Copies of this chain bind each other. A is one copy, B any other.
Amino acid sequence: MNFSSKLLEHAVEEFGKLPGVGKKTALRLVLHLLKQSDAEVGRFTQSIDKLKQEIKYCKTCFNISDMEQCEICASVKRDHGLICVVEDTRDVMAIENTNQFNGVYHVLGGLISPMEGVGPADLKIEGLIDRVKTGNVQEIILALSATMEGDTTIFYLYRKLKEFDVQISTIARGISFGGELEYVDEITLGRSIATRVPYERNVS
């Protein structure tokens, strides 16, 4: 692109580094910001700077938080003996939205991925082991993506955790609720037949 301004080119370059944002989209976003008032642009950039500088991670579950301990870990209404292990804060938000879970979380901050150079040491696994060691944890739910990275991480965590006196479970996999059989992919359908459950369990 032939930019008429180095400042413009530089800002478009920076926007283009965001995931899923190409050069043309970056230019559109930058020109949009340029049309806004000084105050509005200031609010935009300050919200990011402030987030980056002041954000904290809960010392217990490592979820993003404004305080040393997140609201969920600080709540006495939650079951602290039930820990749901997730990849990142988006998963916490998704599970909280279901209103089906009353335990607490543990945010790994990623999944084991040799392809991307992410090993167990890059994740908050030690913190999870420490929580289990206290002896107050009854069950750990591994709520990770049903991908290669998710399965690798589940396997690694299972091997680390099985020596402790704690129940380890994974979230159920199968066809979606409301899903029509003819549209389900082969692997999911095949696996959900192989891992069929007694009718009584599904209606409980």
Is residue A5 within 8 Å, beta carbon to beta carbon, of the partner chain? yes
B38:A52 contact, CB within 8 angstroms: yes
Question: Given the complex, which residues of B lie within 8 Å of A153, measured CB to CB?
Answer: none
| 26 interchain pairs, CB-CB under 8 A | A2-B93, A2-B96, A4-B64, A4-B71, A4-B93, A5-B65, A7-B55, A8-B55, A8-B64, A11-B51, A13-B47, A14-B44, A15-B44, A18-B29, A18-B33, A19-B29, A30-B51, A31-B88, A31-B89, A33-B48, A33-B51, A34-B51, A34-B52, A34-B55, A38-B53, A45-B46
Chain B: minimal CB distance from A68 (Å): 12
A10:B47 contact, CB within 8 angstroms: yes
A2:B97 contact, CB within 8 angstroms: yes
| Residues of A near any B CB (own CB < 8 A) | 1-8, 10-11, 13-15, 17-21, 25, 27-34, 38, 41-55, 58, 63-66, 70-72, 88-90, 92-93, 96-97
Which among B3, B41, B47 is the interface contact of A52 at CB below 8 angstroms?
A: B41
Q: Is the interface of A mostly helix, strand, loop or mixed?
A: helix
Q: Which residue of B lies closest to A96 (CB)?
A: B2
Q: Which residue of B lies closest to A33 (CB)?
A: B48
* Most chain B beta-carbon contacts within 10 A, residue among A4, A14, A31, A52: A4
B54:A49 contact, CB within 8 angstroms: no
Question: Given the complex, which residues of B lie within 8 Å of A58, measured CB to CB?
Answer: 4
Copies in the complex: 2
B25:A20 contact, CB within 8 angstroms: yes
Chain B: minimal CB distance from A21 (Å): 8
B92:A4 contact, CB within 8 angstroms: yes
A7:B50 contact, CB within 8 angstroms: yes
> In the docked arrangement, what's the CA distance between A4 and B105, Å?
12
Question: Given the complex, which residues of B lie within 8 Å of A29, measured CB to CB?
Answer: 18-19, 21
B93:A14 contact, CB within 8 angstroms: no
